Chain A
Amino acid sequence: MSQLLEVSGVSVTFDGFRAINNLSFSIGPAELRAIIGPNGAGKTTFMDIVTGKTRPDEGRVLWGTKLQSLLSMSEAQIARAGVGRKFQRPTVFEDQTVADNLMMALKAARGPLAVLFWSPKPADHARVAELATEVGLGDSLARKSGELSHGQKQWLEIGMLLAQEPQLLLVDEPAAGMTLAEREHTTRLLVDLAKTRAVVVVEHDMEFVRRLNCKVTVLHEGSVLAEGSLDHVTRNPHVIDVYLGRSER
């Protein structure tokens, strides 16, 4: 099976601290993957590298069937290539309405001139409304997103991700701060999404990961410690030692 994203031998150092150490990782075009690991294991840095925010000192990051290197691309180019990212904290544009937020994220030409002369077609309005309904904000389209609750902002951000129609979704702790019902909704949505695209979920919460029921990659000190089903990795003595063991104590 050809891989959508292939990260190999990547290392990055901050002021002498090795945040990522010879990390290799790959994910297929329609796969759900959870990444777990203790604080400082390099989860966020890993996402930063894939999305172009951080440049690694060495290693390769290849994308798609054409094996494009993501390392020479800017964040915007990577996003346009089809990598979507959801941050830990909901970051939506609070000064603008839900509809504006979604409209901005909608897949369309991204150049300044194209955007300047772009005007929404009825189909675009329909798509925005559809997305809003999907994430439960159907009747909040005209509200300023700053007025939304924390959970609603999370949903809006997920809606924006969907509007981008990415091939790979990087989701950082989606369940943080959500109620139980919201979590279940999120789980279903992520599992659904992974049927048509690759989804990488970074999560602390073991229960949530268990519900995702997918392959798990355990990061530790910047490299992969174990990979496999959740049950498989939780039995791994190293994993128990560095992560689970500690948290259970």
Chain B
Amino acid sequence: MTRTYLARNPSVLWFLLILSLFTLGVTVLSEAYGVAFLSTSFIKTLGKTLCLCLAALAMDLIWGYAGILSLGHMAFFALGGYMIGMWLMYARTEGIVITALSNEALPATAQEIQNGIAGQIFGVVGASELPSVWLFAHSLPLQLMLVVLVPGILALIFGWLAFRSRVTGVYLSILTQAMTLALALYLFQNDSGLRGNNGLSGLQNIPGLADVSQDRISVWFLWASAFALGLGYLLVAWVVSGKFGSVIRAIRDDEARVRFLGYSVEGYKLFVFTLTAIIAAIAGALYYPQAGIINPAELAPIASIYLAVWVAIGGRGRLYGAVIGAAAVSLLSSWFTGGRAPSINLGFYTINWVDWWLILLGLSFVGVTLFAPKGIGGLFDLLQGLRSPDRKGAALGPDDGSLMEKEAKE
């Protein structure tokens, strides 16, 4: 079995090898464990990029393989971040409050500590009580469970509703976008219990590790992110390699036909939707401690669209494509928007990339969609000399995979 699996997915070994080398290389170049060539903030950027790659992997599974263009996976990503952020913020505030109260004559009561934490965290939105959603915030294991459960259950409920009513194609995309918008708007409220548009902050300070410097923590998180990405890659590659992969690709290409084979298409979609939501949530839970802050703007529908953009540019329907796309575009993006890209002086006008990067991205995205539907991953086909099968004009491949049934029949 393992042999077949790896034989079917030669890219898995390559990927793991490159990922290990990358992690090792970064460690050697880091300030904390090596020659201090890379700055801590850059290592954090790399760590965050690995998390985004993991999210892109989930996106590739749901879109590239199952054909569901979800515009809501960054919402799950952010929800995962919120869940871990609640513990980070609670535990850190708890430490601060306990220290502050220890100067008083009497030892603090549990209630006083609770009130102190609530006041610290929620003073900014004018509340002083801990909302009920913070019930488990004191416990890391419980909150870690919520990282998986909250996005998972949300995806399960939403997916069940959406797939049950046979919403497909662009309609489903719009519906997921609406869900994301609803969630973002909800979190923007001050009484949502998650500090409204202030979001959660100070997440880079890991409770209990106050003595460890950020340059070490950043490397640790890089390791964790790389580990999660490797594990995620193995998992997703395993999911798509067997008969399950066959079925979801078949659903992508012609879901009505799959139904007549006796597979409950809705069940498969729901499974993939929920699984990918959970993967995205875990990626988010690793991302936000490195980013340090999370707010509802992270849930905006545009974030999920960027995720789709990365996967499309990297190449849908192949896992390494998604990873390459996410890494390349998000690193480029932070290079351009970070003001590090040199401006181009045209004489009459100076192109300042901070302003023009999005335009470049948008247009290159249109270009990729039109001229290189296989994305960067398509280059590997060229390298290997692989040719796509001659479909005798009846193109029904991955590129057309998500056709509406009616159009597919035409």
List A residues at the B interface (Cβ < 8 Å).
Answer: 51, 53, 74-77, 79-80, 84-85, 87, 89, 91, 93-96, 100, 103-105, 110-113, 115-116, 118-120, 144, 146-147, 150, 160, 164
A89/B409 in contact, CB under 8 A: yes
State the CA gap A104–B243 with chains docked (Å).
7
Sorted from nearest, which 9 A-B pairs have the closest CB atoms? A79-B262, A75-B259, A80-B262, A112-B271, A76-B264, A116-B244, A147-B389, A144-B389, A93-B250
State the CA gap A79–B264 with chains docked (Å).
10
State the CA gap A76–B401 with chains docked (Å).
21
B260/A95 in contact, CB under 8 A: no
B244/A95 in contact, CB under 8 A: no
Which stretch in B45-53, B123-131, B365-373, B391-399 binds the other chain?
B391-399
Other-chain residue from B239, B249, B256 in contact with A96 (beta carbon distance below 8 A)? B249
State the CA gap A93–B252 with chains docked (Å).
10
A146/B389 in contact, CB under 8 A: yes
Contacts of A111 in B (CB 8 A): 264, 267
Chain A residue with the shortest CB-CB distance to B397:
A95
Q: Decide yes or no whether B246 CB sits under 8 A from chain A.
A: yes
A76/B396 in contact, CB under 8 A: no
State the CA gap A105–B249 with chains docked (Å).
14
Q: Decide yes or no whether B1 CB sits under 8 A from chain A.
A: yes
In the complex, how many angstroms separate the beta carbon of A224 from the nearest chain B beta carbon? Answer: 25
Q: Decide yes or no whether B263 CB sits under 8 A from chain A.
A: yes
Contacts of B209 in A (CB 8 A): none
Chain A residue with the shortest CB-CB distance to B257:
A91
Interface size band for B: 20 to 34
Given A76-B264, A94-B389, A111-B264, 4 more pairs with CB closer than 8 A: A75-B256, A76-B265, A110-B264, A146-B396
B243/A120 in contact, CB under 8 A: yes
In the complex, how many angstroms separate the beta carbon of A131 from the nearest chain B beta carbon? Answer: 14
B230-268 at interface with A (beta carbon < 8 Å): 239, 242-244, 246-247, 249-250, 253-254, 256-257, 259-265, 267-268
B242/A116 in contact, CB under 8 A: yes
Other-chain residue from A93, A103, A144 in contact with B243 (beta carbon distance below 8 A)? A103
Contacts of B243 in A (CB 8 A): 103-104, 115, 118-120
State the CA gap A105–B394 with chains docked (Å).
22
State the CA gap A53–B166 with chains docked (Å).
12
State the CA gap A105–B398 with chains docked (Å).
20
A118/B261 in contact, CB under 8 A: no
In the complex, how many angstroms separate the beta carbon of A83 from the nearest chain B beta carbon? Answer: 8
B259/A76 in contact, CB under 8 A: yes
Contacts of A74 in B (CB 8 A): 259, 264
A104/B396 in contact, CB under 8 A: no
Contacts of A96 in B (CB 8 A): 246, 249-250
State the CA gap A116–B268 with chains docked (Å).
10
B200-244 at interface with A (beta carbon < 8 Å): 239, 242-244
B263/A93 in contact, CB under 8 A: no
Other-chain residue from B244, B263, B389 in contact with A76 (beta carbon distance below 8 A)? B263
Contacts of A87 in B (CB 8 A): 257
Given A80-B262, A110-B263, check contact A147 B1 (CB 8 Å): no
State the CA gap A160–B260 with chains docked (Å).
11
Q: Decide yes or no whether B104 CB sits under 8 A from chain A.
A: no
Sample (9) of A-B pairs whose CB atoms are under 8 Å apart = A85-B260, A91-B257, A93-B249, A94-B396, A95-B396, A96-B250, A112-B270, A118-B244, A119-B243
Chain A residue with the shortest CB-CB distance to B250:
A93
Chain A residue with the shortest CB-CB distance to B1:
A119
Q: Decide yes or no whether B390 CB sits under 8 A from chain A.
A: yes
B299-358 at interface with A (beta carbon < 8 Å): none
A75/B247 in contact, CB under 8 A: no
Chain A residue with the shortest CB-CB distance to B272:
A112
Contacts of A160 in B (CB 8 A): 261
Chain B residue with the shortest CB-CB distance to A92:
B257
Other-chain residue from A53, A113, A164 in contact with B261 (beta carbon distance below 8 A)? A164
Contacts of B394 in A (CB 8 A): 94, 146
B262/A119 in contact, CB under 8 A: no
Other-chain residue from B259, B267, B398 in contact with A79 (beta carbon distance below 8 A)? B259
Contacts of A95 in B (CB 8 A): 249, 253, 396-398, 401
State the CA gap A144–B246 with chains docked (Å).
13
B261/A104 in contact, CB under 8 A: yes
